[in-house]
Structures are given as C-alpha cells and as structure tokens.
Amino acid sequence: MNYLLRWVGFALIGTTLSSCSLIKSQLGLRHDSSQLTPPVVVNDKPQSAPLQPGENVIVRAVDRVGPAVVQIDVVKKVNNSLNSIFGIGPSTQRQQGQGSGFIIRSNGLILTNEHVVRGANQVAVTLPDGRSFKGKVLGGDPITDVAVVKVVADSLPVASLGNSDNLRPGEWAIAIGNPFGLNNTVTAGIISAVDRTNAVGEGQRVPYIQTDAAVNPGNSGGPLINAVGQVVGINTAIRTAPGGGLSFAVPVNLAKRIVQQIVSTGQASHPFIGIQLRNLTPRLAEEINAAGSGCKVPKFNGVMITDVVPNTPAAKVDIRRCDLILGVDGKSVRNSTEVQLAVDRGQVGRPMLLRLRRDGNEITVEVRPKELPRRN
C-alpha cells in the first residue's frame, strides 16, 4: 500500500477518474437529474444491535462483518517499451495483483480501494464461503482512493456501515482483509487519531483515520470496523519505520459520498475554485511584508492565497492574491488543508461563501465551484 497516490496542490492539479457504464438493471437505479430524485442507497444492511455484557466484542464484531469481506484478484496488462523497441519479447505483460473489499449491497455492490483495481483488465471476487464471481469496476476515484466493483449475484452477505464522524481516539479498531493472500485475517488495535490530513503527504482531500491495528499488503480495500461490527473506514495506507508502523483508513462517511456519485454518474465529483494556498505564520508574514512583493499581511496564523488561476470561479468573483481566508460556508478555517476539505465537501455549481480578510477589512464572497480538472 506504499504505492498509494500522493495528491499535491489544491487547484492546479487535476486527476483522471476512471469510470465505467452503470449496470442500471442490476442495481435497480435510474438516473434523473431532478432534485426530487432520492439519493442512491449505498448500504442495505440494517443497523447492528448493541452487544450484550460479557460478550467478546472482537469475536462478535468479526462474525457480523467477516462473511461480507472479499478477496479481489486483478490482472493488468502493462506495456513493456524495451521489449517493443528491441523485439526481445512481447510488448505487453500481464501483472497480477490482490487486495480486499467488502460487500455493501446484497445485489453485489462492493467497496474497495481505487489503487487495488486501477488499470485492471480482469477482476475476480472471492467470498469467504468459496464462491467466486467475475467483477466489473463501476468507477474509481484516485483522489480519495475509493472504488466500486459490481458482481452479478443476489442475497449476498452485507457489511453494516457505521458513522465515522463519531469516532474517538481509544475506541476499538478491527481490520479484516487478505494480507499476503491469507484471506479473512483479523487484527485489532485502537483508533489512534482522526482527521489526519497529513498522513501520506500534503495537499490531501482525505481526513484519514489513524489506527495501530496491523495492516499489510493485501489489506488494501478491506474494512476497518468498530466494536459493534460496523464498518467505519477502508484500510488504505501504511507508514512503516523500524520497530513498528501506522495504518490509515478512509472514513466511511467520505466513502459513502463517493460511492453515491460513482453509482449515479460513473465517476466522483470534486469541486474546484482555482486558488493556491499557503499556511501563514507571524514569521512568514514578516518576510512577506519585508520582501516588497505587494502583499501586506497581518502577523498571525492563517491561510493566504498565493495565486488565483485565470478564468476560474475564484478569478470571476475577484478573489485576489494576498487575500486571507478566514472561513468557508460559515465555518472557520485554520490552515490550507481545512480550506481544501471544506471546499471538497461542497458541490459543483452550488454557491459557496468565503469569508476573506483584505487590506484589514473582512468581506464575504460567493463563488460557484466548477468540476476539478482531470488529467488524461
């Protein structure tokens, strides 16, 4: 999982989102642009009942989720440019990969990591009971590392989804997956931290859950569950060091939003307003003011706009370089990552209010985000 994408930049760098046509007849969905259309049903598992005193919480939690955890095997075709140039072998080679996932709809909707199925030509999904199905990637989002796979089946076991917004450090954290091909391996620890926006680099749009539950290659895409047997995250990345390592998971509430978008349209949507940001400190403010760059900023901790991309939503409403961002949609922000996450929680085309400080005065600007550009 060290091959996780690193996302840098806030406004200038887009990304390619793989998409696939929907199997609407299998999902029982209809696409309707009307605002009255009900949201996509992400999960059809009833909420789990609380465990009774004296029960082994880890055993019971695993019993509830384990049958819905799947092994995902993929085959990718990779171009071999040297072989093609020198004629010493085939120009393409087959690479095999493996990861985990979990069933979120009984009709075969599966949640996993985007990097598990990225570029896959063939996808095979194997259940703990031995059944195997051919999978189809409905879409994936490299920014959040969330992907949706569909198999043709009915009455499959389903993992119940919890509420990752309510997580607190110290709670049980249980990981289930297929590390090194050892299917349905269970490890346990605690929630070490939440909202880790600097877990795998800067410029992220994911407030990761940090846990000390052991996660290894092959766990990617598997569920992180709580003591009640509800999925609260998708195991995604690890950071290793001599003597130990840390694990990170995508919060399930964020994953739900991405799944709804992928199932509805075949791709994820990320708002974009067209600004570059820098965290401001009193010392940096002194340097900026002394440099004669044209910016005069107060000596405090905050967020400064360093550039506005021409012909973007921010440029159209006269957001300027050197403006300081104090809040987004009524919520105060302290650093550039909080601004980025707040913008990403918005919607393309829906007005967003930015509270700015400019030349000592506070102003409020309404901006309508566009779709984040995607690289080909």
Q: Which residues are catalytic?
A: 115, 145, 220
Host H or E run for residue 231: strand 231-241
| Residue in this structure with the two tokens 């997956």, named with its chain if needed | 177
One-letter amino acid of 134: K
DSSP letter, residue 184: T
- Looking at the DSSP assignment, which residues form a beta bridge with residue 19? 139
Contacts of 262 (CB under 8 A, 6+ apart): 19, 138, 139, 140, 141, 146, 147, 148, 268
Among 325, 242, 219, smallest CA distance to 280 is for 325
Pairing of strands 208-211, 370-371: unpaired
Which pair of structure tokens corresponds to residue 337? 């990552």
Which pair of structure tokens corresponds to residue 311? 């012909």
- Looking at the DSSP assignment, which residues form a beta bridge with residue 191? 211
One-letter amino acid of 158: V
The full length of the chain comes to 376
